[in-house]
Amino acid sequence: MRPAGRDATVAVARCDDYAPGKVDAAVRRAVDLVGGIGRFVSPGESVLLKPNLLQGQEPERCVTTHPAVVAAVARLLTEHGCRVVIADSPGAGIVYSEANLRRAYARSGFAAVAEETGTALNYDTGSQIVPFSEGEVMKQFSIITPAVEADAIVVVSKAKTHMWTRMTGAAKNLFGIIPGLEKPVFHFRFQDEYAFGRMLVDLNECVKPRLQIVDAVMGMEGDGPQAGSPRTIGVILAGSDYAAVDTVLARLIGMDPLEIGSTRIAAERGLLDPGTVRTIGDDPAEFAVPDFRKPSTYTGGRAGVWRRVMLAVVQRFGRTYAPRPGVIASSCIGCGKCERICPVHAITVAEGKATIDLSRCIRCYCCHEMCTERAIALSRGLTGKLLARLLG
């Protein structure tokens, strides 16, 4: 029972910290503002609650959706009579196995959430092919089984910057329903953020989540989605449309929504007009963080003819401009995550240390995203530094 048509309304609810009572109140208020939980799901339906799990990290690192937010949404759904399962496929450097899921659920706090709320955790590592004839760049997707079998999907994302897509919120979080080690194929096929955005729009239009909730109480700034730093934003967002929700989130962290690949593509396809996105609840201007630190790969910023010329140069010589990943040998533990995730097999691990063949590297930064030891550093050559300085 997805709401008829597309609704570009996004609720903004103040939430100062992760005290369970405050989070519960903010989540309920946000959902009530966009029509109440009964607008999106019915009693008796099976609902997949899709958080941002990545590899499973401690909540204070702001890598994953905070367990207090996941718990608040789970309670709302179970109280409405839904059968809830929490599910995600870990980031692409991690084998999608029951053992790895158990570790990720435990570290992220989701195992405790399931026990507290009486919801289930998914351990089914199967996947199914889902056809999507309407897709622009994807005519079918391999999707984890619990997502295929659920009556409805509720996405509970985390507000973070992202080295590859600039920002990860509603649209990008759904990429987690692609089985773990299949994700590098998409990075290889869609080698720029807007091509990747076309795929993300196809995925969201194929699966059609019923409800989007964003944990923007504490976001991650800098080199997200894993190696950034926590930064207070102070809100919970809710809405039915992924592109509308991401439009509000982008503005909160000082980005133009049309800089975000998936949002731009949604607009190009006539699925969204950022100018018609309406917020209700608290005024988002009260929570906007214009100096939210962007990822080091970020090329947004001031406009003008000169900058457009320079961006054209950057697009032509992208490998020269883009930061290069390099291994910090003293931090590398030789775990092999980066080697497994690399879509072009540019990384090898030998004698306990990783090495990167930059001649093969496509600058997707999957290795940086997956390295929990922060052993991947990014740097630019002299020409890249000059272009970065000219672009501001």
Q: Which of 86, 104, 224 is nearest to 168 (CA)?
A: 224
- What is the value of pTM for the model shown? 0.84
In a domain, 295, yes or no: no
Q: In the structure encoding, which two tokens stand for residue 115, read together? A: 């026990």
CATH number, domain with residue 217:
3.40.50.11440
Task: Check whether 305 has a pLDDT greater than 50.
Answer: no
H helix count then E strand count, the chain: 15, 15
DSSP-assigned letters across all residues of 164-189: TTEEESHHHHGGGGS-GGGHHHHHHH
Task: State yes or no: pLDDT of 310 exceeds 70.
Answer: no
In contact, 46 and 150? CB cutoff 8 Å: yes
Q: Average pLDDT for residues 213-223, to the nearest whole number?
A: 97
Where residue 4 falls among pLDDT bands split at 50, 70, 90?
very low
Predicted local distance difference test score (pLDDT) of residue 54 = 86
Give the amino acid at 299. Answer: T
> Do 186 and 80 belong to one domain?
yes
Q: Which is more confident, 337 or 55?
A: 337
Per-residue pLDDT at 93: 64
pLDDT at 264 over 60: yes
Q: Tell me what pLDDT residue 390 has.
A: 52
DSSP secondary structure, 61-92, as one string? G-SS--HHHHHHHHHHHHHTT-EEEE-----T
320 and 280 in one domain?
no
Helix, strand, or coil (residue 11): strand
> Rounded mean pLDDT of the chain?
90
Pairing mode, if any, of strands 347-350 and 229-239? unpaired
Instruction: Note down the domain range covering 166.
Output: 9-287
pLDDT, tens digit (0-9, with 9 covering 90-100), for 99-128 = 999 999 999 999 999 999 999 999 999 999
140 CA to centre of own chain: 21
The answer to whether residues 18 and 68 touch, using CB atoms and an 8 Å cutoff, is yes
* 2 has pLDDT over 50: no
Residue 183 is which amino acid? K
pLDDT at 84 over 70: yes
| CB proximity list for 309: less than 8 A, separation 6 or greater | none
Tell me, yes or no, whether 1 lies in a domain: no
Whether 187 and 325 share a structural domain: no
* Whether residues 93 and 131 fall in one domain: yes
Give the angle subtended at the CA of 321 by the CAs of 319 and 326, to the nearest 5°.
Answer: 70
- Verify that 122 and 269 share a domain, yes or no: yes
Do the beta carbons of residue 155 and residue 209 sit within 8 Å?
yes
pLDDT band at 164 (very low <50, low <70, confident <90, very high): confident
Domain count of the fold of the chain: 2
Assess contact for 343 and 364: CB atoms under 8 A: yes
Is 371 in the same domain as 279? no
**AA identity, residue 326:** G
Looking at residue 1, its pLDDT comes to: 34
CA 261, CA 194: separation in Å to the nearest integer? 4
Residue 149: other Cβ atoms inside 10 A: 13
Whether residue 34 is contained in a domain is answered as yes
**Cα–Cα separations (whole angstroms), residue 359 to 6, 320, 346:** 44, 11, 8
For residue range 327-365, what is the model confidence (pLDDT) as tens digits? 999 999 999 999 998 988 999 999 999 999 999 988 888
pLDDT of the residue at 385: 62
Same domain, 168 and 70: yes
In-domain check, residue 297: no
Do 110 and 196 fall into the same domain? Answer: yes
Give the pLDDT confidence of 178-206 residue by residue, as tens digits: 998 788 888 888 888 899 999 999 999 99
Binned at pLDDT 50, 70 and 90, residue 213 comes out as very high
CATH number, domain of 349, equals: 3.30.70.20
Q: How far is CA 17 from CA 23, 105, 150, 287, in A?
A: 7, 22, 31, 13
Same domain flag for 107 and 216: yes
Tens-digit pLDDT profile for residues 141-162: 999 999 999 999 999 999 999 9
Residue 83 φ/ψ, nearest 5 degrees: -95, 115
Q: Are residues 215 and 72 in the same domain?
A: yes
Number of C-beta neighbours around residue 28 at 10 A? 20
Do 51 and 149 sit in the same domain of this protein? yes
Cβ atoms within 10 Å of 264's Cβ, excluding its own:
21
Q: Do 274 and 323 lie in a common domain?
A: no
The answer to whether residue 296 sits within a structural domain is: no
